[in-house]
Amino acid sequence: MFWEDFRELVPATKNYIYLNHAALSPTPLPILYETFRYLYEVSKSGTIADNEEQKDELFHIRKNISNLIKADPLEISLIPNTSFGINEVAHGIEYDDKSNVVTDSLEFPATVYPFLKIKKLEKRIVNASPYDIEDKIIENIDENTKIVSISHVSFNTGVRIDVQKIVTKAKKVGALVLLDIIQSAGAIKINVKDLGIDFAVAGGYKWLMSPQGSGFMYIRKGLLEDPPFYGWKSAKNYLDFDPTKFELEKGPRRIEIGTIDIAANLGLSKSAEIISSHEDEIEKRVLQLSAYAIDLAEDKKFEVITPKEKRAGIVVIKVKKPKEITSRLAQRNIIVSPRGEGIRISTHFYNTEEEIEKTINSISQEVS
């Protein structure tokens, strides 16, 4: 099976029970090799290698990413991290004195903080739980809502939200929707067109198993045509190197204000290519493993914060002193994270049921 073969390409599996993909994935060998390929070519031929890689405006990278999320390659900009992309959106939208942004208390700070800089914007940070998050957000969307900024999957509860339900209400009042997909892209299938969202952002180092410094941004056609920040690569004719003349690039490079990490994003491109080719098996496997983790935890009488019917790859088990327990688990070579009110287990498709069993049993031993 694909997942079993792929597991052999992840060196970390030889030494650890690694269930921490919601924090950072170990780099699989095909992705590492693609990153190294570019760096090796640069070591041999410098700018010749770099110019060869960029001769198509990195369309080959954009195409693989667009296939992953079912977008157009020209809607994909390469960014260094999620925070960069959210700032582009937050500061690229026009607001009036009545405008508000709606977000929620389960968000990672990157989805919220960029909007705090905009003084005249009302910030509605809705207090929500995994079970009522959609209704709470919808209740706060009104005719003055300019944008809704939310995560597809919550980093500290694991809940996967019903995006389309929120989008339906947002569109009724003319609000835009920004979706942070860093905890879903690579774990479950994503179709940005079916979701109806306007923007999506993701770093590549979590479920996409790519190097830090890789990332992408989906911008629906017709939006953010004049971005809030300019750099030398925002210019249509950037290779003229003429500071006295500026014409804005109309394609996705307009967002990429400076030199990007090409090696890291080539790794992301390879990952997107692999995942897209096996997306059904990967999603099925991720959901099977997260369900298995929930079942085992409940059998051990743990309170599971993550709703089983609204899950993706993250499962959060409520425990006291999660930091201390996580640290002791690491001494056993079991790698998880303390998040929210408990321990976060984030299983990717190449993990095994036996690894989950050992992890849940070890947590049970630690709390008893």
Q: How many domains does the chain have?
A: 2
DSSP state of 267: H
What pTM value is reported for the model?
Answer: 0.97
Interstrand relation of 145-151 and 100-104 (parallel, antiparallel or unpaired): parallel
Q: What is the pLDDT of residue 219?
A: 98
Q: Any idea what the Cα angle at residue 337 is, between residues 84 and 3, rounded to 5°? A: 85
Mean pLDDT of 49-62: 97
Confidence (pLDDT) at 368: 82
**DSSP conformation class of 184:** T
Is there a single domain that holds both residue 344 and residue 209?
no
Task: Verify that 234 and 286 share a domain, yes or no.
Answer: no
Identify whether residues 80 and 225 lie together within a single domain: yes
Residue 340's pLDDT is 85
Residues 241 and 287 reside in one and the same domain: no
Q: Which residue range is the domain that position 290 belongs to?
A: 2-27+279-367
Please state the rounded mean pLDDT for residues 60-73. 98
Considering just the CA atoms, what is the radius of gyration of the chain in Å?
21
Examine the pLDDT at 321 and tell me if it is beyond 90: yes
CA distance 57 to 156: 37
Structure confidence at residue 196 as a pLDDT band (50, 70, 90): very high
Average pLDDT estimate for 67-93: 98
Contacts of 115 by beta carbon, 8 Å cutoff, 6+ apart: 90, 101, 103, 121, 123, 149
Q: Do 106 and 136 belong together in one domain?
A: yes
Classify residue 305 by burial, with Cβ atoms within 10 Å: 0-12, 13-18, 19+: buried
Whether residue 284 sits in one domain with residue 270 = no
Say whether both 222 and 77 belong to one domain: yes
Report the run of H or E that residue 177 belongs to, with start and end.
strand 176-180
Residue 161 has pLDDT above 90, yes or no: yes
Q: What span, in angstroms and rounded, lies between the C-alpha atoms of 183 and 275?
A: 15
Under the banding of pLDDT at 50, 70 and 90, the label for residue 70 is very high
Phi first, then psi, for residue 252 (nearest 5°) are: -65, -20
